[in-house]
């Protein structure tokens, strides 16, 4: 035994394996000699020859190698492959080297390999997963089965995502005004801090987040995501889908991503205290975090963060800005006609815009829009750029109304104002904007219903 250890570095591994097999009485010396002769003739590895010629079973061989290398032998039939571990190694690599990632433990990825001495494979697993790799031994046929069973459903899920994927729009296509677009693009240039997209469900937040990722320089900035679900696949961004059943949540997913030290992290949504705290922590340690938050408007997003347990001074020091948004329908371009709005509509419009436009438009209904008078949608946006003043007000427990007034003073166009500017441009109607921008606490309220003049809604000023 002493001699064996002494010579471990010089001794050819094949001889060691033979000794181990003999020591474990897994083979007779005659059969071993026969296999070694074949080894010299063919140049194949001894372990492969022994298994191919059925001189040793694959299970015995794995057990012998495990003894030889003093390495754990993993029975893959008894282990579940962790989905987030699987995502770190592409199927191609797994097949090429007959290996499969098993678990993430701390900073390490446990990789089960049929040939744990394949240093090239280990290097590739390290560079692809960007983690420390700890090698364990597996039976080759088990690894193959595990690759088939685990990567196949993954590929199907990805295909499903692609089939259903959102169209990837550029920021200018979303409907930002020229001023808001310029400000938002400047926000995206921040090296660190938090940018939030606020709005209710269905307001197009994810589309804006994806357009933002698309705007970022992905060659210079390493971007990672944790999403629920992944709705668009970027070729050059590492995206992860939360999987609460497997214990992968926004907060622990974000913690795991941060170990890779990305420059930018997209967190699909901040909806609990843990995720909010983790996102703020990420900003404080120099990351740019993009996320969405359920809030009616930009100022509402600040108060939502406070509700989620974030101290106002931390919001003041980490938040770069908030985009609040809604979707409105566009007037059908084929049946668009000028019309005279009612006095009520004009009043709502004038509440936001100082000058009457020359012409108001609406759709008459046609074949193209199946008589809906609308075709396609666009966003309306409210952009809050975090300023020193607003930070101070927030830290000093100023009210929603006071902070909102200050933001407007600093140039924030409200959702309603941005919407009415799109009315002015003949893109959408007053009706659409009022319905979309309706929020509790807004300066107007309305009730829906048929009234005598045929308007679908009425306004109470």
Residues engaged in binding Zn ion (CB under 5 A): 332, 334-335, 363, 366, 368-369
Question: Could you give the C-alpha distances from 318 to 191, 271, 283, 329, in angstroms and in order?
Answer: 11, 18, 6, 34
**Three-class SS string for 156-174?**
HHHHHHHHHCCCCCCHHHH
Residue 428 C-beta: closest distance to Zn ion, Å:
14
The gap from C-alpha 169 to its chain's centroid, in whole angstroms, comes to 16
Q: Which is nearer to Zn ion, 337 or 451 (CB)?
A: 337
Residues 6+ apart with CB under 8 A from 356: 346, 349, 350
Residue 175 C-beta: closest distance to Zn ion, Å:
20
Question: What tokens does 456 get?
Answer: 């679908």
Name the residue among 68, 59, 54 with its Cα closest to residue 21: 68
CB 27 within 8 A of CB 56: yes
DSSP assignment of 167-212 equals P---GGGGT--HHHHHHHHHHHT-SSEEEEEE-STTSSHHHHHHHH
Residue 236 C-beta: closest distance to Zn ion, Å:
40
Q: Which is nearer to Zn ion, 155 or 368 (CB)?
A: 368
Residue 334 C-beta: closest distance to Zn ion, Å:
5
Q: Token match 């191919």: residue?
A: 52
Q: Which residue is nearest to Zn ion (CB)?
A: 332
Residue 369 C-beta: closest distance to Zn ion, Å:
3
Q: Token match 């029975």: residue?
A: 75
Residue 363 C-beta: closest distance to Zn ion, Å:
5
Q: Which is nearer to Zn ion, 155 or 359 (CB)?
A: 359
Q: Which is nearer to Zn ion, 146 or 332 (CB)?
A: 332
Cβ of 436: how many Cβ atoms within 10 Å? Answer: 23
Residue 385 CA to residue 186 CA, distance in Å, equals 10
Residue 258 CA to residue 249 CA, distance in Å, equals 14
Question: What tokens does 69 get?
Answer: 């290398």
Beta bridge partners of 21: none
Q: In terms of residues, how long is the chain? A: 461
Q: Which is nearer to Zn ion, 138 or 426 (CB)?
A: 426
Residue 458 C-beta: closest distance to Zn ion, Å:
25
CB 317 within 8 A of CB 334: no
Residue 327 C-beta: closest distance to Zn ion, Å:
19
86's enclosing H/E stretch is helix 83-86
Q: Which is nearer to Zn ion, 331 or 383 (CB)?
A: 331
Residue 458 CA to residue 461 CA, distance in Å, equals 10
Residue 451 C-beta: closest distance to Zn ion, Å:
24
Question: What tokens does 384 get?
Answer: 């809050």
Q: Residue 440 burial (CB < 10 Å; 0-12/13-18/19+)?
A: exposed
Residue 313 CA to residue 336 CA, distance in Å, equals 49
Residue 362 C-beta: closest distance to Zn ion, Å:
10
Residue 371 C-beta: closest distance to Zn ion, Å:
7
């Amino acid at each position: 035994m002493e001699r064996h250890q002494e010579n471990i570095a010089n001794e050819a591994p094949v001889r060691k394996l033979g000794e181990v097999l003999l020591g474990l009485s897994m083979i007779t010396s005659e059969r071993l000699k026969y296999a070694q002769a074949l080894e010299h003739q063919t140049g194949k590895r001894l372990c492969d020859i022994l298994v191919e010629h059925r001189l040793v079973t694959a299970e015995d061989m794995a057990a012998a190698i495990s003894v030889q290398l003093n390495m754990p032998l993993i029975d893959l039939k008894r282990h579940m492959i962790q989905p987030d571990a699987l995502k770190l190694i592409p199927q191609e690599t797994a097949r090429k080297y007959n290996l499969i990632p098993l678990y993430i433990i701390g900073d390490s990825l446990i990789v089960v390999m049929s040939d744990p001495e394949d240093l090239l494979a280990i290097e590739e697993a390290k560079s692809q997963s960007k983690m420390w790799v700890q090698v364990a031994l597996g039976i080759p046929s088990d690894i193959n089965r595990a690759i088939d069973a685990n990567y196949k459903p993954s590929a199907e899920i990805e295909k499903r995502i692609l089939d259903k994927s959102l169209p990837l729009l550029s920021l200018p296509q979303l409907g930002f005004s020229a001023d808001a677009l310029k400000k938002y693009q400047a926000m995206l240039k921040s090296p660190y801090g938090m940018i939030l997209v606020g709005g209710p469900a269905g307001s197009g937040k994810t589309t804006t987040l994806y357009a933002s990722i698309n705007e970022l320089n992905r060659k210079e900035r390493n971007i990672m995501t944790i999403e629920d679900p992944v709705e668009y696949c970027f070729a050059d961004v590492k995206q992860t889908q939360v999987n609460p059943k497997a214990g992968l949540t926004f907060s622990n997913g974000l913690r795991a991503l941060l170990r890779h030290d990305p420059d930018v992290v997209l967190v699909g949504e901040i909806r609990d205290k843990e995720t909010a705290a983790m996102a703020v922590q990420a900003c404080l340690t120099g990351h740019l975090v993009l996320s969405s938050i359920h809030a009616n408007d930009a100022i509402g997003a600040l108060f939502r963060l406070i509700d989620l347990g974030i101290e106002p001074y931390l919001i003041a020091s980490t938040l770069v800005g908030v985009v609040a948004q809604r979707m409105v329908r566009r007037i059908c371009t084929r049946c668009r006609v000028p019309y005279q709005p009612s006095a009520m509509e004009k009043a709502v419009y004038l509440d936001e815009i100082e000058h009457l436009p020359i012409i108001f438009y609406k759709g008459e209904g046609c074949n193209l829009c199946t008589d809906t008078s609308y075709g396609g949608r666009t966003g309306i946006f409210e952009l809050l750029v975090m300023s020193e003043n607003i930070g101070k007000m927030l830290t000093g427990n100023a009210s929603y109304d006071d902070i909102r007034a200050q933001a407007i003073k600093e140039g924030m166009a409200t959702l309603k104002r941005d919407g009415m500017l799109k009315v002015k441009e003949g893109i959408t109607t007053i009706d659409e904007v009022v319905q979309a921008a309706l929020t509790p606490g807004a300066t107007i309220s309305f009730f829906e219903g048929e009234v005598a003049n045929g308007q679908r809604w009425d306004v109470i000023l």
